[in-house]
Amino acid sequence: MDEFTRDLFRELFTPAGEKAGAPGQEEVQAIKDLLKAAGEQDLTQPIVDLFAMLRRIRREKGYTPADLGIEEPDLMALAEKHQELDEHRVTIGGRVLRALSIVQEANERAMDYMRRHPREAPSGVELWNSIREHQERIKKVLGMQQEDWDSFAGQLRYAIESVATLSSLLDLPEKAVADIQRVTGQYRMRLTPYYTSLIMPGVLNDPVLLQSVPTGEMVDNVGEEIPPVAADHSPARLIDQFYPRVATIKATNMCAMYCTHCLRIAHIGKKDRIYSKNAYREALDYIRNNPGIRDVLVTGGDAFVLPNDLLRWLLEELDGIEHVRLKRLGSRIPVTTPQRMDSELLDILEQSNDRKPLRVVTQINTAQEITPISREAFKQISRRVSAVLNQAVLLRGINDTPVKMWKLCETIQESHVRPYYVFNCSYRNPQFAHLRVPVTVGQDIIESMYGNISGDAIPRYIATAGGKIPLHRSNVQRRENGHLVLKKPWSGEEVKYPDVAEEDHADQRFAFAKYTMPE
Ligand SMILES: *Cc1c(COP(=O)(O)O)cnc(C)c1O
Ligand code: SF4
């Protein structure tokens, strides 16, 4: 017997100073039944249940097993039987005193999340009935047929670009309508009907609404845009290169939906462009002439905006370069317009992946964006490529609590997508400064995941400031009035990273909420 079992027996058989109410008739019968089952069956569970029950009665009522007519040697025989039966020779004391209470403590950590997630962060799968109703309404108002809805071309043809159309589909506050009108003079808005259907009507600051419909802040936020210095990182036409072994081809400036928090807001969506073959050839030549480049990321905009023929050609060209060993395609389309994933495109992905590993990198920011339709799209993609990875952006009111982020990471993992990065929202663009989240809030969220959800559902927390810089605490050197000092791991260089004040972040009156909440 080990020490846990000795402790258990000591606890059970030490007479209590005072007894509190005798065990009831039912309890006595239950103990009899368990004793019989424990003796007769070659199972561990009746033995465990018996000891757990005897322990509870001793604790709550002060009755020892002896008081109930059970002798110590009989129980000892059952304890030995338990250890004999168990393949890993776990003792009854180890199981009852240690394991059960450790598991119970762990369960309690998750209970709060389990209670809260369906209400605070429902997935699109859980909301599917409401989304379906919303879809029917949208189809009717826009005059879409089912076949329009089910095709990528139809989704783009009926994309919502005007405030008038948007407000015929969503009940927006009057002041919001005026503001969106004002903002869309300067910034483009486009939502596919499908993505619009994920917005829960009547929910202030709905997380899908916040990501897709611009608010007054976009033009009113003070501050100056610090555009990414293209000249610093673009050694050739369409190419961005921060790292020696990874290069990016920005293959288009188009997306199916334009995000309010887009890092490339200065370049994306002003005017739809797919570039000339000459531009792609020059980009490919640069890669061909630089044998250090091993991994090529085709992005945009959105790589799946490219027509199938062009995508096939680009991938074939890349696969034909000896030193290119892997590719990635960056796309949000499986989330915003999963109708794009036709069988020809899936075949193109599979053929390229057969030649050299291909990954798809996507951006899902809330569990609400995963519906049975996008889940199916990701399942299809994941069958054909090496990995589907998610790069989320940490956004105020959208995914900035542990419950929301755990739910996002679990939901995408259940949808064949691996959490990869969580980006702190960039400080370079005043347009979405109101969506930023303090670095410590992000650190707390990521750290809260350890020990609570599957390890491979925990993303890395990253700042983009001249490359991707890890935001875990040991990489933040210090705080200097309002900004952090981060260290670039590859050069040791220290960079200033402006942070957001906690009180600004806590203020609920922003975006759509500010139109309806009292001052
Ligand atoms: C994000 C990014 C990459 C890829 O970085 P990983 O850390 O390998 O995912 C490469 N080039 C540029 C310009 C990037 O922005
Ligand atoms: S999908 Fe990406 S590139 Fe396109 S608008 Fe959104 S964040 Fe920007």
Residue 258 Cα to ligand 2 midpoint, Å, equals 6
Write the pLDDT tens digit of every residue in 508-519.
Answer: 999 999 987 655
CA of residue 206 to ligand 1 center, whole Å: 30
- Map out the domains of the chain with their CATH numbers: 3-118 (no CATH), 128-216 (no CATH), 239-515 (3.20.20.70)
Q: Is 82 helix (H, G, I), strand (E, B) or coil?
A: helix
Query: Is residue 332 lining ligand 2, measured as CB closer than 6 Å?
Result: yes
Mutate which of 245, 264, 297, 362 for ligand 1 pocket (most atoms within 8 A of beta carbon): 297
- Measured from the CB, is residue 330 less than 6 Å from ligand 2? no
The model's pTM: 0.93
Would you say residue 108 has pLDDT above 80?
Answer: yes
Please give the share of the chain, as a percent, with pLDDT higher than 70. 98
pLDDT at 186: 87
The residue nearest atom 15 of ligand 1, judged by CA position, is 467
Contact 451, 440 (CB under 8 A): no
Mean of per-residue pLDDT scores for the chain: 94
Centre of ligand 1 to C-alpha 370, Å, is 25
Q: Stretch 447-470: mean pLDDT, rounded?
A: 95
Q: Rounded CA gap, 463 and 426, in Å?
A: 7
- Residue 56 has what pLDDT? 95
Token readout for 509 is: 């009156």
For ligand 2, the distance from its centroid to the CA atom of residue 262, given in whole angstroms, is 5
Dist CA 433 CA 203 (whole Å) = 22
Q: What is the pLDDT of residues 485-509, one digit of tens each?
A: 999 999 999 999 999 999 999 999 9
Per the model's pLDDT, the better-predicted residue between 428 and 5 turns out to be 5
Could you report the per-residue pLDDT of 221-273, keeping only the tens digit for each? Answer: 877 777 665 567 899 999 999 999 999 999 999 999 999 999 887 777 677 77
pLDDT value for 229:
56
Confidence of residue 418 (pLDDT cuts 50, 70, 90): very high
Q: Which two tokens stand for residue 61?
A: 């009522």
For the chain, what is the largest distance between any 2 Cα atoms, rounded to a whole number of angstroms?
92
- Note the pLDDT of residue 402: 97
Q: What is the pLDDT of residues 153-207, one digit of tens each?
A: 999 999 999 999 999 999 898 999 999 999 998 888 999 999 999 999 989 899 9
Q: Answer yes or no: is the C-beta of 326 below 6 A from any ligand 1 atom.
A: no
266 or 103: which carries more pLDDT confidence?
103
pLDDT in tens, 289-312: 999 999 999 998 899 999 999 999
Please tell me if the CB atom of residue 248 comes closer than 6 angstroms to any atom of ligand 1: yes
pLDDT of residue 517: 66
Percentage of residues of the chain with pLDDT beyond 90: 86
Between CA 153 and CA 312 the distance in angstroms is 19
Instruction: Find the range with the poorest average confidence among 112-126, 177-191, 315-329, 336-350.
Output: 177-191
- Give me Rg for the CA atoms of the chain: 29
| Distance of alpha carbon 443 from alpha carbon 445, whole angstroms | 5
